[in-house]
Structure 1
Amino acid sequence: MDVKALLRAHPGWLEHLESLGGVDIALPDDLPTELLRLTVPHEDVNAVLAARPEPGSGQWWLAERCVHSLVSTMGRPDDDPPRFPPLPELGPYFYVYVFLAALPHTRAYHRRLGIPEEVSWATLADLGRNMAVHRKRHGSGGLNAPAWFTLHARGLLYALGRLQFNREALDPETAAGIRAAGRPAEPGAHSLGVHIPDFHGPLTPEACDASFERARAFFPRHFPGEEPQVMTCGSWLLDDQLAGYLPAASNIIAFQRRFHLLGRFDGGDTLGFVFGGEAVTAPEELPRRTRLERALADHLAAGGTWYGRIGWLPF
């Protein structure tokens, strides 16, 4: 396959990769064991092994440059490289190999910062989780949203119990909304993004309390110069319309109450998060097995729309 011809559909990204050049990469000697350590689903392991790129091939050339792009911005939230574009022509597991090749660099960065082994591996195990999410969404093997895992590979995101937190710079719109609420907030200031991974059990208040407590100790300890002002979250779980359907004591509503809510955005992926591959456009065809599924389907059937919301809380 002529990989460079394929990349001409993404000229900015190709220019970025060519400007970096390659970096020597080595894949783990015992790939099956490493895949299982990263919680890659068992049904995907053999297919991943069969898709291993050959050294000297076009895919290997591209993997070298993708890894260099990640390593060159390791630990720097203010220096985002171009996003990895979807490249289905390279097969469903190409980016899995990119992240496997980047793994030694990420692990070395974690060790330099004194990140506990338990946190390091819990963070990187999100690779397998997002392969499980891909199967839930599409019914086939692959890695869901490869660009998302660049945060993990670059040392920006950490799993701390039930929640994940990533180091980021506060964007101007969110900063303005926080200032309007009477709290100082400047664009570009250090902040933390809050994320709710799938396949991790109930979103109980106790589990969330423990995660926020860990985050408030973890980041000052390992990134002492950053001093985040706030934590922000952008999620369909913060759509305040859910309060009209779910009990006030539900885990989702309790999670919403932690945040000061700002603007809303298109929540077009809400059905994918909840229903996975069963999501369809006709509300009457959606399953209604749980209170949440009934809420989403009934709201759409009544002509409503679901949104995501941005929320913030003090660090």
Structure 2
Amino acid sequence: MDAKALLRDHPDWLAHLEPLGGFDLAFPDDLPSELLRLTVPHEDVNAVLAARPQPGTPEWWLAERCAHSLVSTMGSLDDPPPFRPLPELGPYFYVYVFLATLPHTRRYHRELGVPEEVSWATFADLGRNMAVHRKRHGTGGLNAPQWFMLHARGLLFELGRLQFNRCRLGTRTGTAVRAAGLPVGPGGPALGVHIPDFHGPLTPEACDASFARARTFFPRHFPQERRHVMVCASWLLDDQLARYLPAGSNIVAFQRRFHLLHRLDDADTLGFVFGADAANPAALPRRTSLERGIADHLAAGGTWHGRVGWLRF
């Protein structure tokens, strides 16, 4: 199949990619070691190696332009079109796009003075999201490849238990923040807050340490940007959870840090909590207080939502 035919349902994306031209898809000489360094699950390594794109193929044409798109917008808050699911190219296509991009991201990190330990902790999210894909679907692949675009473009950094990305305030959130008396509004600079999976308990102490690191890290490495606020959009901020969890739970403590704003219609709470078990909502497991609360709430006719929240930088 011709590469452009793969994008026939995504004309805006094709219009962005086509003019970019080729790109040097240089992959590491010792690719297995690189994959393990990026925490790619051991059971996926051989399958990733077998899926390596070859020059002259539609996969190669598209991988060149996807990598070029990432590098050409390195560090920019103006986002390129997000990567789209392309099952015809197999489950590991975007892994190679990111492998080709990461040398440029590492160089950008070095120019900013980002410590190596922060760089590699950030890049390890590639393997983590392959583990998330297996958790959710029971098969190999990369979960939500558009998510790792933030890492590859040098916008997101892992600082302990939490991740933070440079971003701009949306209209609703920015309006609410301005109404609360902060000197920033829609379109103003902010930090997004994210809670990665497979990273241990979300303890208050671990979160305190991450927020403290963020308040030092970003002024040091991005001194030209003055921020006043951090924002989080997550299923973890649904205040209904407090009805089912102990008052001293880590999730409730995390919620209390934020000024909660509007709900999100699609937070994929079931996917985050239950993984592949979410495919049958009528038979959700009830192994923990969180699982019991979510399952019981649904059984009683309730629904779950994400929520947006903000706190001062």
TM-score bracket, shorter-length normalisation: over 0.9
Conserved? CA contact 2:271–2:278, under 8 Å:
yes
Instruction: Write out per-residue CA displacement over residues 21-41 of structure 1, whole angstroms, 9 at most, x where no aligned residue.
Output: 122221111100000000000
CA distance in 2, matches of 1:223, 1:26: 29
In the other structure, the counterpart of 1:200 is 199
Conserved? CA contact 1:137–1:277, under 8 Å:
yes
Conserved? CA contact 2:235–2:267, under 8 Å:
no
Instruction: Write out per-residue CA displacement over residues 149-197 of structure 1, whole angstroms, 9 at most, x where no aligned residue.
Output: 0000000000000000000011111011112223332221110000000
Conserved? CA contact 1:189–1:229, under 8 Å:
no
The Cα shift of 1:102 comes to 0.3
Identity %, equivalent residues:
77
Conserved? CA contact 2:234–2:267, under 8 Å:
no
**1:37 aligned onto 2:73:** no
CA distance in 1, matches of 2:258, 2:5: 47
In the other structure, the counterpart of 1:155 is 154
Conserved? CA contact 1:161–1:207, under 8 Å:
yes
In the other structure, the counterpart of 2:215 is 216
TM, length-normalised to structure 1: 0.98
Q: In the alignment, which of 301, 309, 312 is matched to residue 311 of structure 1?
A: 309
Gaps of 5+ in 1: none
Q: Which moved more, 1:192-201 or 1:266-275?
A: 266-275
**SS of 1:279 mapped into structure 2:** helix
**SS of 1:220 mapped into structure 2:** helix
CA distance in 2, matches of 1:161, 1:151: 17
The Cα shift of 1:219 comes to 0.2
**SS of 1:295 mapped into structure 2:** helix
Q: In the alignment, which of 283, 296, 302 is matched to residue 300 of structure 2?
A: 302
Aligned residue pairs total 313
Letter in 1 for 2:75: G
CA distance in 1, matches of 2:229, 2:100: 33
In the other structure, the counterpart of 2:186 is 187
The Cα shift of 1:281 comes to 4.5
Instruction: Write out per-residue CA displacement over residues 90-129 of structure 1, whole angstroms, 9 at most, x where no aligned residue.
Output: 0000000000000110000000001000000000010000
Gaps of 5+ in 2: none
Conserved? CA contact 1:127–1:149, under 8 Å:
yes
Q: Which moved more, 1:35-44 or 1:220-229?
A: 220-229
Instruction: Write out per-residue CA displacement over residues 247-278 of structure 1, whole angstroms, 9 at most, x where no aligned residue.
Output: 11000000000000000011451000000001
Matches within 5 A, 1:260-279: 260-279=259-278
Q: 1:281 to 1:74 in 2, by over 3 A?
A: same
CA distance in 1, matches of 2:267, 2:183: 32
CA distance in 1, matches of 2:9, 2:262: 34
**SS of 2:147 mapped into structure 1:** helix
CA distance in 2, matches of 1:303, 1:271: 15
Letter in 1 for 2:149: T
Matches within 5 A, 1:95-174: 95-174=94-173
In the other structure, the counterpart of 1:11 is 11
Q: 1:268 to 1:121 in 2, by over 3 A?
A: closer
Conserved? CA contact 2:266–2:305, under 8 Å:
yes
Letter in 2 for 1:142: G
CA distance in 1, matches of 2:181, 2:5: 52
CA distance in 2, matches of 1:267, 1:287: 21
Q: 1:277 to 1:249 in 2, by over 3 A?
A: same
CA distance in 1, matches of 2:242, 2:267: 19
Letter in 1 for 2:304: W
In the other structure, the counterpart of 1:251 is 250
Conserved? CA contact 2:177–2:185, under 8 Å:
no
Conserved? CA contact 2:114–2:221, under 8 Å:
yes
CA distance in 1, matches of 2:132, 2:281: 22
Q: CA RMSD in A?
A: 0.9
The Cα shift of 1:280 comes to 3.2
CA distance in 2, matches of 1:142, 1:172: 34
Letter in 2 for 1:13: W
The Cα shift of 1:15 comes to 1.2
Conserved? CA contact 2:182–2:228, under 8 Å:
no
CA distance in 2, matches of 1:277, 1:203: 22
Letter in 2 for 1:115: V
CA distance in 2, matches of 1:72, 1:307: 35
CA distance in 1, matches of 2:269, 2:181: 31
**SS of 2:129 mapped into structure 1:** helix
Matches within 5 A, 1:231-246: 231-246=230-245
